[in-house]
Each structure stands twice: as C-alpha cells, then as structure tokens.
Amino acid sequence: MTNQIFFGDNLKILQGLPSESVDLIYIDPPFNTGKTQKHTKLKTVKSEFGSRKGFQGQTYKTTELGTREYQDSFDSIDHDKLSNPDINNAYKKIAPNASFYFLELFLRPRLEEAYRLLKPNGSLYFHIDYREVHYCKILLDEIFGRGCFLNEIIWAYDYGGRPKSKWPAKHDNILFYVKDPENYIFNTHSIDKEPYMAPGLVGEEKAKRGKLPTDTWWASFTGTNKPLLPQDTWWFAVAKGQQNDTWWQTIVPTGSKERVGYPTQKPRKLMDRIIKASSNQDSVVLDFFAGSGTVGESCLELGRNFILIDNNKQALEVMAQRFAGYTNIVWNNFNSKPYQSLIKTKLQPEKETLKLSEEFVMFATTSSYLREYLEDANNLWENSPFEWALKLAPRKKGKLGGKLVASWLAGKGLPIDTSKDASETVTINGYKIAIKFSTLWGTNIYKFQQIRNTDYEYVLCLGISPFDVHCWVFDKKYALEHATKQHKGGAKSEYWITIDPKKPPEWTLKHGGSLNEAFNLLRKKTQK
C-alpha cells in the first residue's frame, strides 16, 4: 500500500475511505483551549546595522523566519444542527457551551467515522487534555461501548505555564479504546522493555530481559530526571520506580534534530510505543489530525503504512519538508514539491550524520526546562496593551520609554525640553534627566540598563508591567552608588539597577514607585 497524505476537511475525506480498512488510529485533535497555538522561528546574524549588542562589541540583528499557528477554539454553537434534543439538554447541564459544540458538532461525526474505518481487531488512541477528557470519554463510551475502553494513559511532561492560583497542569490524557475487547492487537514482545529497579531479586536472566512497562513512562524511558514538584501529577516515595498509567516523556526540545517547527509537535517516542504495541508490520495507521506528521515518520521507520489528514496548509508544508526524498507517499490536493526543492533529502547518501557531544546534550536538556520558565513570562503579557513592545529592539524600546516620559511630563505642565534623542534625556528648567526604560522581566523585575556617569543630574526609571506602570527618580550619584556595573570601561563604564516593584529595595522607597510619587519628586527637584 502507498502512504497517503490528504489536505482538506478530514470529515469529508474519512467518509470517502472504505470501512474496516485501518488497523490503528491515533488522533490528537484540537484541545479546545480557546487560544491560538503558535511557533515562531527566529534567526540572529552578525550585522553592522544590528540593534543587539554582543561579545566584544559586535552587533547582531534578529529576523523572523516564519510563524506557524492554528486556532484551537470552538466558540460557535448552532444548537439547531443537533438532531437529538435529549442530548442537547443533557450537555447543557454537564458541559460548557464550547465543550457542547466541540463534542457534538465537531468530534462525534469524526469519531463515528473512525469506528467505521477500524478493522474488527483495531484500536483507537485519543489524545486530549484535562479540559475536555471527561466529556470525551462519555462520547467515546457511547460510540465504542464502555467495555471497549482499556486505559486512560497519562503523559506527564515538563513544559507550560506555572499559575500561582492552582496546581500547574503538566500532563495530557490518552484514552485507549479497542473495537473488540476479546480480539485486538497488542504486541507485548515488540514493546521496549524497561529495567527492573531491583534486578538482584528477579535473577540474571529475567533482569537481562527486562520487564514490560505498564502504562506509566518514567525517567528510565527517556533517560532524564523526573520533573520538579509541585504540579498536578504527583509522585510519592512509595511509588518510586513503579509503572502505571502515567507516562513520563519530555517534549521535543527546541534544539532537537526531531523538531520541525510545528506548535503542537509530539515526540517520536510517544508515537513509537503506541504503534509498536497496537499495530503489526504493514498495518495501516490513520491520523486525521496529522499536524507535523510525527505518526507518518514513525510508521516509515517501523514498517507501517499511514494515512495522514490535516486541513492546515502550514501543517502540510511542514510535512512536505519532513518527508522530502520519500517516494512512497501520495500527496492529495497538495503540491509538496515547492517545499522540498531546497532540502537535502533523507535519501541523499552524502548527508552526514550529526553527532552531538555530551556537553551539548546537557545544555539542550537544561534549556527545555528554562524554556518553560522563560516562555511563561510572555504569558503574563497576554492581552496587555503593551504586549507588542516586547518584540521591539532595545533601541526602539528606549525611544518608546523616552516618548512616553516626555508626553507624560508635558501633559502634567512641566516645561520640557527634549534632546535630539528623546530616549536618552529630557531637560526641565535646566536640569538634565536621563531616562531609562524597562518592561517587566520574567523574574518579575525591572532592569534599567546602560546607566552612565555622564552629564546629567537625575535618573528617571520608567517600568511597564503588563497592566501597571512604575517610576522612580534618583540623583545620579545616589543611583550609581546602588547600581551594579554592567560593562568595565573606566569613565565609560555602564551600570544597571534592578527593582522588584512588589518588593522594592529599601534604598528606593523614598524615590518614587508610582507615577504620582515620581512626578511630585521630580517637580520638587527641578523647581528653581
């Protein structure tokens, strides 16, 4: 069988496929989060016109190579399309409106087609998260039969936000159904074995063979440490080393060879375990929310055939690049060649195998944890009117701060005289004031940088949070006494000041904080 990739509405395509023709279905549908899932690729290169300063005074510029995204929300509800008023009323009581639409008008017809397409011994792995899993299980129980439900697998990971008002969500749910609970594929012998925690207790032969993992994947599967607690997946000392329905598998790291730039890409090891367990050589595996095509790549490596479907053009572009060079794939309603012409294919013998040093792997692993910490900072700015300012180059950020200060002070009636570069200084009644501007960092601090011992009397530090603003005014000498040296350079040394607006240092307490306090202080200092 030739592998198939379809571009279009998966419901219409599923309806055109023959009944009982698929051995295994894995789907990772939209999670109905209400957000736009996005992944942006950036490239930084050395440039004499760059706005970013680096090692030994070199300047660099950052360009955006492209953004891939899809909308993950179901807000439109058309109750008239629902044929069963009893279901209508039931879901009104137990599910939010968005879940109601997501289940009945979006998922139900697609899951009914999935059931039709599965062979009598076929299996379905349904990947979802905590928001909808309980409603989806009710729907799947109705379509497949409650007795056909075998497992709820928990995939635990180490990325995403860390809200302060609830347990941070660090897992997805995978519901495992079979068409016939008395006859289904489950290849115990093909699943990667895991080592015994106490090999001396089971004997040499058994220890060498390893044990069959249950539906929990721990650090032994990935070779990484368990994530830090607390979160919504808890490990207790009594359970150390045991395997159950929590699978520990990290995300695809940012710098990994596996990463293809799709916002919700799933790791290969996750797919490999499912495909090895629930399909055979030459089986047909279907994924009708294909995304970046991870299921297809796994099938190519493991000797399975696949059918992939997605209606997002960017997903097809990613798959075209990912599968460049493979001749056993038919592309339906999509021309893959423009996205493959400049890519070294997997079939080219001259392509070298990339070897990663242990040090590089260590840094890449660490970065996956830091990514969560740093990306969470950007979540603070969601829906903030200043969110766009985060993307500005440092020089443009400085200009923004200067113009905000000049406009604010002029509006308050102070006689403002701006310099040629309003991001640097303003003059009030002959007093020169250096302006330093910072947006709130991910560590909830302001960092006012490039403070120099030059010709001015006062330093004005303006800080913008997602939904707040802060300001301090310092005498130059006082500021330099409490600043940290940023660059060494004698008389041209640069300094920075770090302030946590929620817990400002004691030395800043009489020098502003709010706009009103800073303005009154500045007016007092500049009166003649």
φ and ψ of 326, to 5 deg: -80, 130
Q: Do the Cβ atoms of 481 and 493 come closer than 8 Å?
A: no
pLDDT exceeds 90 at position 84: no
> The CATH number of the domain where 422 resides is what?
3.40.1350.10
Q: What is the mean pLDDT of the segment spanning 310-328?
A: 89
Residues 134, 125, 75, 379, CA torsion sign: positive
- Whether residue 393 sits in one domain with residue 320: no
pLDDT of amino acid 77: 44
* Domain contains 459: yes
* Domain contains 194: no
* Domain contains 364: no
pLDDT of amino acid 302: 94
For residue 421, give Cα distances in angstroms to 396, 401, 424, 478. Answer: 11, 11, 6, 24
Cα gap 157→146, rounded to integer Å: 28
pLDDT higher at 343 or 299: 299
pLDDT exceeds 90 at position 229: no
φ and ψ of 272, to 5 deg: -60, -45
Q: What is the mean pLDDT of the segment spanning 109-117?
A: 96
* Domain contains 109: yes
Q: What is the mean pLDDT of the segment spanning 272-294?
A: 94
Closest of 480, 470, 478, 477 to residue 517, by C-alpha: 470
- Final residue before a domain boundary, out of 348, 376, 396: 348
CA 338-343-347 angle, to 5 degrees, is: 115
pLDDT of amino acid 40: 41
Q: Do the Cβ atoms of 433 and 457 come closer than 8 Å?
A: yes
- Whether residue 264 sits in one domain with residue 338: yes
pLDDT higher at 442 or 108: 108
pLDDT of amino acid 48: 59
Q: Do the Cβ atoms of 268 and 295 come closer than 8 Å?
A: no
Reduce the DSSP state of residue 355 to 3 states and report it.
Answer: coil
* Domain contains 488: yes
Number of structural domains (the chain) is 2
**Distance between first and last Cα of the chain:** 88
- Whether residue 141 sits in one domain with residue 247: yes
- Whether residue 406 sits in one domain with residue 286: no
H or E stretch including 144? helix 133-144
What pLDDT digit, counting tens, does each position of 467-524 carry? 889 999 999 999 999 999 876 655 568 899 999 999 999 999 999 999 999 999 999 9
pLDDT higher at 284 or 345: 284
- Final residue before a domain boundary, out of 300, 329, 348: 348
- Whether residue 428 sits in one domain with residue 302: no
- Whether residue 398 sits in one domain with residue 283: no
- Whether residue 398 sits in one domain with residue 329: no
What pLDDT digit, counting tens, does each position of 5-61 carry? 999 999 999 999 999 999 999 999 885 544 443 434 444 455 555 554 444 455 555
What pLDDT digit, counting tens, does each position of 128-172 carry? 988 888 889 999 999 999 999 999 988 877 666 667 787 777 788
- Helix (H), strand (E), coil (C) string for 80-91: HHCCCHHHHHHH
* Domain contains 453: yes
* Domain contains 475: yes
- Whether residue 329 sits in one domain with residue 182: yes
- Whether residue 446 sits in one domain with residue 503: yes
φ and ψ of 363, to 5 deg: -65, -40
Cα gap 11→330, rounded to integer Å: 19
Name the least confident of 32-36, 110-114, 130-134, 288-292.
32-36
> The CATH number of the domain where 272 resides is what?
3.40.50.150
Closest of 237, 8, 516, 500 to residue 508, by C-alpha: 500
Confidence (pTM): 0.53
Cα gap 276→304, rounded to integer Å: 10
Structure tokens at 484: 């940290």
Per the prediction, the chain carries an average pLDDT of: 75
pLDDT of amino acid 295: 95
- Whether residue 293 sits in one domain with residue 237: yes
- Whether residue 341 sits in one domain with residue 421: no
Q: Do the Cβ atoms of 251 and 267 come closer than 8 Å?
A: yes
Cα gap 485→493, rounded to integer Å: 7
Strand pairing class (22-27; 118-128): parallel
Distance of CA 68 to the CA centre of its chain: 12
State the residue range of the domain holding 298. 3-32+103-189+215-348
pLDDT of amino acid 413: 85
- Whether residue 299 sits in one domain with residue 399: no
Beta strands in 244-311 (DSSP E): 246-248, 284-287, 305-310
* Domain contains 69: no
Structure tokens at 483: 């600043």
The DSSP symbol for 489 reads -
Q: Do the Cβ atoms of 264 and 35 come closer than 8 Å?
A: no
